Structure 1
Amino acid sequence: MTGMPSCSALPSPLGFDPRAWQLWGKADPARAVGGGPDWHPLLCHVLDVVACAERLLLHVRPDRLDAMAASVALPREAALPWILFFVALHDLGKATPPFQIKVPGRVNALRALGLDFPERDEPHGSLSAVLTTRALTEHGVPPRLARWVARSVGAHHGEFASLGKLGHLEQQKGILLPVYAGKEPLWDLLRTHLVQALAGACGVSSSMPRPALPPAIAMRHAFVADLAGLTTVADWLGSNAEVFKYVEPPASPADYLALARARAVQALDDAGWRRPPQPPIRTFRELFGNDPWPLHEAVETIIPALRGPSLVVIEAPMGEGKTEAALTIFDALAARGGTGLYFALPTQATSNQIFGRVERFIRAAFPGETHGLHLVHGDAGLSERYDGLKERAFTMRSINGVARGKDGPVADAWFARSKRALLAPLAVGTVDQALLGVLGVRHGFLRLHGLAGKVVVVDEVHAYDTYTSELLDRLLSWLGALGATVVLLSATLPAARRDALVRAFGAAPAAPATYPRITVATEGASFSTSFPARRAPIPVSLIWQSASAVPERLVEALTGGGCAVWIVNTVRRAQQTYLALRALRDRRLLPPDLDLGLLHARFPFDTRAARERAAEESFGPGEAKRPRAALLVGTQVLEQSLDLDFDLMITELAPIDLVLQRAGRLHRHARKNQRPPAVQRPALWIVRPEGDERPEGPAFGASALIYAESILLRSWLSLRNTTEIVLPSDIEPLIESVYGGTAPVASPELATRLTQLDRDSKEREHDEGNQARAIELAAPDADDPFDGLARVVEDEDPSLHRSLRAKTRLGEPSIDVVPVLDRGGRVVLAGAPDVEIDLETREPLPRRSVVAAARQAVGITHRGVVAALLYERVPPSFEASGHLRFHRVLRLDDAGRAMVAGILLTLDPELGLVVGSLDTPDDSAP
């Protein structure tokens, strides 16, 4: 190992007191079965962790070693011993009475040595933070750096000790109060011997150069978060008692370190720690086997400018190949030694879709290699594709990317937990998982450590409200400080938002090139470059239709066949529209062979997944299963999550960017079979909102509960006199007319209404921004972003008050329910009646039952229903399951109905979950 003495060259410290071996670090009475020890010496455990950290830094994440070395102004060879020494001190707080008293069987033996046990409890992480400060300053580390390092390594159980907490524990700077440190001088003597032994084992000597406090504040705090993450990961790996078996006190620390290093190789191998891909430098054509489109050619020209942490904002129309562009950037930076990829999407559905594309990409781009790939969101465990990668991992063990028996992506179980998933070299998931890194959640810094140095792609970056956008801005500032390259993708990004994202990354916005464009920010500056769209401009006819006239016009449009879609803004409206169309088809007022479908988010998980697959088969780029005549009714799930191509589109009015996103599903693919005559020209029908003839403009009904009414009104003003939009040339002008405030206002009444709506919107945005700032991690250049950071008990539990939850989105509260039926005292799943569920057992349910129940779950957002269900207890068997622990049960009668808080809920196989009656209009519930 470069820069570190060999094991044989590590003598024990002069006069090492063997009594120090008697302090325990891990204990488990079950380990005594078979005659083995039931406790593991503290010094041995810490060396286990050191060995894991060393293995991670040298063989898996050398980029983190380089980054940390730069932060403390040392070359990597000189920095490594210090970083390992920092990690080694993470459990120094275990060498105290409050910890050592936790195993009664050890107390008598330690008392016999002359140690006392004052009755005062305190977590050992905060005790470590105090003791480590003193230990490091005694070894020549600058006091301010010593305090930062001590707080960092002491946070390995999930939270940083506040300065107030440390002041409470200290007698004076760096000296622990006797009630925590022990009154007998022997405690301090043994800790001194432990520190000396660890310094020697890590290669720290008096002749070595000392680390320096990072000069830039953001660099300092990035180092602190990074080191906390490294320490936590190494501690988790080093605590695997199946690999690091308990031992009797060994002859010397050096002897044991040799054993720990060998075990660390196995521990990382068993967990599936693989070095990220390191491809050769290659072109787009070599990578994908196809000629590049203009966007991809433009990306290849800007890649040389990506030196160090960079931000790349790609603004391009739908269907331009933005996903491939992002993967091209990842591959190029991986060839330079990059450390991995996280592809972040706005929804679980989009995550699932991109996960499949990334899996295929990894398999094709790295033949003969094995790489870890994970799906990261709350329902990832329900993905059959992800399950398949987990199964493959059982038969594959590799740490250097060389396959054994098979190749391709795998998903090792160690990374499958939510806190660990972002540590995997390659992952796809929701943006929320990354945003948790800047919220007050336990181990939030671990997510930042996992993303450090990677390529982080955020798709559909326009799709977030003010609250989530504030969190995203804060995440960008941390990712820049941690050396990541961030790629943001959007077709419809307002100019003001683009500039805000560039500033959040720490650069001054550049004058924008013409759309479509790429904006690059690096080293505090930015530039913008344009490229041509790959397709000729597409004129789309824009026709305003009354809702009542749409069916008759559909008959005309689809007589000769064609595939149409009708997108509405609420689930309730989708269900009502589908029922009305079905009745018309049954009366033969619509073609009797019309394939009528419905897709929204209130179907059970399995049903929605099946309907999504069917939609992609019918309306995707292929021809084999495309129906002659079809009409799909759906909600916003059709905007982003699926690769669909329609001949005709009907939509309710929505914000202009979403209208354009929807229009991007019109004539999306070149088709081998000619489109039917009546729909050969793309047409977008917009349903007229009620009252659009009024001087003050239309009412927007339930749509105003979902979207800002001011944006709806501005979108209406921008489109109301338009008969044609040209894609992509009209995208930017339309976006700026709404979000830049240039839409024409036709009457004083409209102007008055719009002024008031804008005022309301600004107040709401200000409030949302304040809510986000109240719970987010401070910026990396703040004085102390970690001090007083709120600790959240559970970031997923819907029953906790909003102020106690880590929320990455605002909006109405929601809850997941599992619909069940009572069959003579037996409880079965409503959607899978062959699966019986024992709700009252406190034993974990069989995995088959858990997965079946989770796949039948339905999300509900109706405020009254959610409030009532939160008072329902979680069944004991659900509490024992990670998938189901916050779900409630919805008990249905034989007709699929239940009454909750006076509201009728009906699970209909065709309509999904219906809230209330669809016979009466109700704009208060989406």
Structure 2
Amino acid sequence: MTGVSLSPAPSSPLTLDPRVWQLWGKADPTRASEGGPDWHPLLCHVLDVVACAERLLVHVRPDRLDALAAAIALPREAALPWVLFFVALHDLGKATPPFQVKVAARAQALLDLGLDFPNRDEPHGSLSTVLTTKALTEHGLPPRLARWVARSVGAHHGEFASLGKLGELEQEKGVLHPGYAGDKPLWALLRTHLVQALAGVCGISPSTARPSLPQGAANRHAFAADLAGLTSVADWLGSNADVFAYVEPPASPADYLALARERAVRAVDAAGWRLPPRPPRRTFRELFDKDPWPLHEAVEELLPALRGPSLVVVEAPMGEGKTEAALTIFDALAARGASGLYFALPTQATSNQIFGRVERFLRAAFPGETHGLHLVHGDAGLSERYDALKARAFAMRSVDGVARGEGGPVADAWFARSKRALLAPLAVGTVDQALLGVLGVRHAFLRLHGLAGKVVVIDEVHAYDTYTSELLDRLLSWLGALGATVVLLSATLPAARRDALVRAFGAAPCPPAAYPRITLATAGASSSSTSFPARRAPVTVSLVWQPAPTLPERLAQALSGGGCAVWIVNTVRRAQQTYLALRALRDRGLLPADLDLGLLHARFPFDARAGRERSAEASFGPGEASRPRAAILVGTQVLEQSLDLDFDLMITELAPVDLVLQRAGRLHRHTREKPRPRAVERPTLWLVRPEHDERPEGPEFGASALIYTPSVLLRSWLALRDRAEIVLPTDIEPLIESVYGDAAPAAAAELTARLAELDRESEAQERTEKNKALMIELAAPDANDPFHDLARVFEDEDPRIHRSLRAKTRLGEPSVEVVPVIGRGARVVLAGDPGVTIDLDSKDPPPHHAVVAAARQAVGITHRGVVDALLRDQARGPACFEASGHLRFHHVLRLDDAGRTTIAGVSLTLDPELGLVVGSLELPDNEAP
């Protein structure tokens, strides 16, 4: 970035009182043994942070300087001194008795100078907010802007001071009660000198142009979130004592700032901050070395219209290349200065898959360049691919994106912590990580700051319930205010949901073009819709309703000549039962002897599930080399999202129609070099007939009604029951709207009455879910004070916190992550890795290899009785887990040598073939899988 530099203001009329240097900002008694000072002057620490903020704004994230400058109506050259002055005041609250008393030796030295220490305590962030308000008004800022800036920089430890808290601390606006400010006038004098010194080195003088209050509430609050995030990041970087070594009081602030700037270069570089990619403008063909499909051509045509923050909604059938379309948009906007990419997926499994695709994209699209890429979800630390990028980061460091070594993606450890991950220029992870930016949790604004100005891609946007959808809508409103461009991907998005997403971004919905389509919206304007042709000719999928009891034998007949089938069910228990039934058929010789039989669901230990996912992709992906002659994969909903799998025949339990269509998208997905077996040469979907479907009021849905909304299941059954086939993509939109649209389906009186009752129950449930989201989320950016309640201190992943108080991104039954172990007493071995022993009573965390091994063996339990009993009997995990960041909220599941235990009267068995079995899998005589 050129044209911006920071120069000290003309010499201040106030000569710095040397006693200011005696106020401490950082302290560490252990540093005295290393031969250096054991404390760091407050003025020096603040200048360390200023230097880091300057380095970030000028050399790494100039887009944020542009955004902050535009908000306060100043050109970037005039805005930089003010932004740095704002950041400099973040620790002004440390120049008070409640903070300075925390180190006894320094407190005594200040007493000797004539300062006093009233017996009050208060976090220095709140005190900074009060004192900064006055300092800024005295430097000519409008009072409202001074307060907003003060609250923003004072929030650097995670929470904005509420107006009520400020009222408790102030005598009048900007004036602390003496108990916090100190009774001795010397306190106020030193603070005045400190502020004046900071104004001088930042370039603020009486003649400097003054900033204005951002116009409009949304702009004001986006500015506040951005400034708070910048301040927190600069404070973290400037607190690295290994780079910013403690010093004796220097000669002058200007002299020390020169040293701090040199150190800031090292601090920012050591953390791994790199410029996001800045490619030349490229066509799809240049980017991917292949011809574009119709979706990609349509995307290229709309790219010139992407000016400023935009919303792009891509609705296209499965297999149309939506991921490549999103990366094409990113590449084009990166060339224009977008600050990075966050690709958000609904699950960890899909995140892991797309992470690999984005890594390959970066290697091919930016050869020889080094860019930081991070995986962002709760188990990212267990990814071998992510670990490999971390290892490479140590050998490849560059602030300016210049290649070192062989180039390629890296993952610097500084960004690997959960609160920092979204700051990375490029990242792939779960949508939950982005949604935390609009929940009332500490440092929520930091996540918003990390996403500001980026291209944010959210895949499978149809896949969320009312609660999570409300959070997603709120996230869109903030992303639009923060200058992000959002790309939403879906194959099966209801019209009402699409319009809600457009409105959430701040645009007006428009009449939709024909499906498949792209909707383009700009905040504060209307939207537009463009259609494009599907890349393949319509595919006819035969629908056959099959009675459950005869399914295994029918499947055996269908695969007698070979073929790859998938059987998708709605619960883990049903998946395990179905697998056992098919295994018994194979053992009896009723299935081909060489048939590969697999099982995939969410109740396998992490390592086992990851291995099964890799095996499924190898066997049923687009290639031919590993595809078995005959196979059946039994699985749950994990098979319907993003995984690139291709089957010859599919069986599925009834689910909401959009999910049935998603599942059907895995039928005959790829063109095969070898012909498919004759019995499965046409794509066929077998739907399991629900129980009692002959009744006038319609069928029962059993356990599926606990997973999905009963009214949606009934509407989906009505939409599909009389069909012999569906044509993809032609029938996708009509089927979706027949279930989720306003029109009532044609049905007999008994069915109509039942559906009306289920609809009423569904509407009540949706209101409840939306209200729960409203209670926990940030207000919209155009609200009066969205940060008022940003002070919750609960850990959102802690299962001990009552569900009504936890900041959750999704509703659902409470769950606990358990590590299965075998042994007696304190020392146990991992059930899935007996070579690893853990001392549960140790107060120290297990060795790193044991932590990783334990985390890889973890499995989630959602059975309500078992979860309640575990939390009652083990209020906390073992001591060594509590001491480990990664295992902190894990519990142990003690098993006998056969892998069994009983909790709350429920049997649990860890079976290597079945995963964790909860309860009995025996079927009643009249029930079949």
Give the aligned partner of residue 639 of structure 1: 640
Q: Over residues 324-378 of structure 1, what are the superposed CA-to-partner deviations in whole Å (9 max), with x where a residue is unaligned? A: 0000000000000110000000000000000000010011111111000000000
Larger CA deviation: 840-849 vs 340-349: 840-849
Aligned partner letter, 2:912: P
TM-score by length of 2: 0.98
Cα distance in 1 for partners of 2:526, 2:612 equals 46
Give the aligned partner of residue 538 of structure 2: 537
Alignment of 1:556-595 (within 5 A): 556-595=557-596
Give the aligned partner of residue 410 of structure 1: 410
Cα distance in 2 for partners of 1:547, 1:196 equals 80
Alignment of 1:605-624 (within 5 A): 605-624=606-625
Give the aligned partner of residue 654 of structure 1: 655
Aligned partner letter, 2:777: E
Q: Once the 2 structures are TM-superposed, how far is the Cα of residue 395 of structure 1 from its aligned partner?
A: 1.2
Give the aligned partner of residue 30 of structure 2: 30
Aligned partner letter, 2:674: N
Aligned partner letter, 1:874: G
Distance verdict in 2 for CA 1:272–1:842, change over 3 Å: same
Kept in 2: contact 1:451–1:484 (CA 8 A): yes
Give the aligned partner of residue 268 of structure 2: 268
Give the aligned partner of residue 80 of structure 2: 80
Give the aligned partner of residue 363 of structure 1: 363
Q: Over residues 690-726 of structure 1, what are the superposed CA-to-partner deviations in whole Å (9 max), with x where a residue is unaligned? A: 0000000000000000000000000000000000100
Give the aligned partner of residue 889 of structure 1: 892
Kept in 1: contact 2:603–2:915 (CA 8 A): yes
Kept in 2: contact 1:701–1:923 (CA 8 A): no
Find 2:877's aligned residue among 856, 874, 890: 874
Kept in 2: contact 1:118–1:179 (CA 8 A): yes
Cα distance in 2 for partners of 1:15, 1:81 equals 21
Give the aligned partner of residue 692 of structure 1: 693
Kept in 1: contact 2:348–2:377 (CA 8 A): yes
Give the aligned partner of residue 780 of structure 1: 781
- The alignment partner of 2:790 has SS state of coil
Alignment of 1:234-273 (within 5 A): 234-273=234-273
Q: Over residues 432-451 of structure 1, what are the superposed CA-to-partner deviations in whole Å (9 max), with x where a residue is unaligned? A: 00000000110000000000
- The alignment partner of 1:836 has SS state of strand
Q: Once the 2 structures are TM-superposed, how far is the Cα of residue 642 of structure 1 from its aligned partner?
A: 1.8
Cα distance in 1 for partners of 2:11, 2:414 equals 35
TM-score by length of 1: 0.99
Distance verdict in 2 for CA 1:10–1:48, change over 3 Å: farther
Q: Once the 2 structures are TM-superposed, how far is the Cα of residue 560 of structure 1 from its aligned partner?
A: 1.2
Give the aligned partner of residue 40 of structure 2: 40
Larger CA deviation: 547-556 vs 361-370: 547-556
Distance verdict in 2 for CA 1:4–1:12, change over 3 Å: farther
Kept in 1: contact 2:794–2:801 (CA 8 A): no
Cα distance in 1 for partners of 2:93, 2:154 equals 8
Kept in 2: contact 1:574–1:633 (CA 8 A): yes
- The alignment partner of 1:307 has SS state of coil
Structure 1 regions of 5+ residues with no counterpart? none
Kept in 1: contact 2:244–2:260 (CA 8 A): yes
- The alignment partner of 1:314 has SS state of strand
Larger CA deviation: 640-649 vs 914-923: 914-923
Cα distance in 2 for partners of 1:303, 1:922 equals 61
Kept in 2: contact 1:12–1:200 (CA 8 A): yes
Alignment of 1:422-571 (within 5 A): 422-523=422-523, 524-571=525-572
Q: Over residues 731-775 of structure 1, what are the superposed CA-to-partner deviations in whole Å (9 max), with x where a residue is unaligned? A: 000000000144633211101100000000000001100000011
Q: Once the 2 structures are TM-superposed, how far is the Cα of residue 107 of structure 1 from its aligned partner?
A: 1.0
Cα distance in 1 for partners of 2:261, 2:900 equals 61
Aligned partner letter, 2:256: Y
Kept in 1: contact 2:438–2:474 (CA 8 A): yes
Alignment of 1:772-811 (within 5 A): 772-811=773-812
Kept in 1: contact 2:605–2:858 (CA 8 A): yes
Aligned partner letter, 2:367: P
Give the aligned partner of residue 727 of structure 2: 726
Alignment of 1:739-888 (within 5 A): 739-742=740-743, 744-822=745-823, 826-871=827-872, 872=874, 873-888=876-891
- The alignment partner of 1:803 has SS state of coil
Alignment coverage as a number of residue pairs: 924
Kept in 2: contact 1:542–1:685 (CA 8 A): yes
Q: Over residues 550-608 of structure 1, what are the superposed CA-to-partner deviations in whole Å (9 max), with x where a residue is unaligned? A: 12221221111100000000000000011111111111122222211111110010001
Kept in 2: contact 1:10–1:201 (CA 8 A): no
Kept in 2: contact 1:4–1:203 (CA 8 A): no
Cα distance in 2 for partners of 1:94, 1:32 equals 22
Aligned partner letter, 2:885: G
Q: Over residues 373-422 of structure 1, what are the superposed CA-to-partner deviations in whole Å (9 max), with x where a residue is unaligned? A: 00000000000000000000111110111122121000000000000000
Kept in 2: contact 1:422–1:447 (CA 8 A): yes
Kept in 2: contact 1:312–1:487 (CA 8 A): yes
Cα distance in 1 for partners of 2:322, 2:11 equals 57
- The alignment partner of 1:65 has SS state of helix
Cα distance in 2 for partners of 1:468, 1:616 equals 29
Alignment of 1:53-202 (within 5 A): 53-202=53-202
Kept in 2: contact 1:564–1:632 (CA 8 A): yes
Cα distance in 2 for partners of 1:641, 1:213 equals 45
- The alignment partner of 1:357 has SS state of helix
Kept in 1: contact 2:6–2:81 (CA 8 A): no
Distance verdict in 2 for CA 1:13–1:231, change over 3 Å: farther
Give the aligned partner of residue 320 of structure 2: 320
Distance verdict in 2 for CA 1:755–1:824, change over 3 Å: closer
Give the aligned partner of residue 735 of structure 1: 736
Q: Once the 2 structures are TM-superposed, how far is the Cα of residue 826 of structure 1 from its aligned partner?
A: 4.0
Cα distance in 1 for partners of 2:484, 2:826 equals 56
Structure 2 regions of 5+ residues with no counterpart? none
Cα distance in 2 for partners of 1:41, 1:792 equals 30
Cα distance in 2 for partners of 1:859, 1:881 equals 18
Cα distance in 1 for partners of 2:854, 2:10 equals 56
Cα distance in 1 for partners of 2:916, 2:101 equals 55
- The alignment partner of 1:248 has SS state of coil
Give the aligned partner of residue 228 of structure 2: 228
Q: Once the 2 structures are TM-superposed, how far is the Cα of residue 788 of structure 1 from its aligned partner?
A: 2.8
Kept in 2: contact 1:864–1:901 (CA 8 A): yes
Q: Once the 2 structures are TM-superposed, how far is the Cα of residue 794 of structure 1 from its aligned partner?
A: 1.1
Kept in 2: contact 1:492–1:731 (CA 8 A): yes
Q: Once the 2 structures are TM-superposed, how far is the Cα of residue 488 of structure 1 from its aligned partner?
A: 0.2
Aligned partner letter, 2:560: T
Cα distance in 2 for partners of 1:438, 1:922 equals 50
Aligned partner letter, 1:894: D
Cα distance in 1 for partners of 2:926, 2:287 equals 50
Cα distance in 2 for partners of 1:168, 1:708 equals 48
- The alignment partner of 2:893 has SS state of strand
Q: Over residues 169-222 of structure 1, what are the superposed CA-to-partner deviations in whole Å (9 max), with x where a residue is unaligned? A: 001111111000001000000000000000011001110110000111100000
Aligned partner letter, 1:402: V
Give the aligned partner of residue 665 of structure 1: 666
Give the aligned partner of residue 599 of structure 2: 598
Alignment of 1:366-385 (within 5 A): 366-385=366-385
Kept in 2: contact 1:169–1:176 (CA 8 A): yes
Cα distance in 1 for partners of 2:242, 2:763 equals 57
Larger CA deviation: 742-751 vs 633-642: 742-751
Cα distance in 1 for partners of 2:805, 2:739 equals 36
Cα distance in 2 for partners of 1:204, 1:534 equals 59
Kept in 2: contact 1:702–1:923 (CA 8 A): no
Cα distance in 1 for partners of 2:791, 2:108 equals 39
Tell me if 1:915 matches 2:903.
no
Distance verdict in 2 for CA 1:786–1:922, change over 3 Å: farther
Give the aligned partner of residue 344 of structure 2: 344
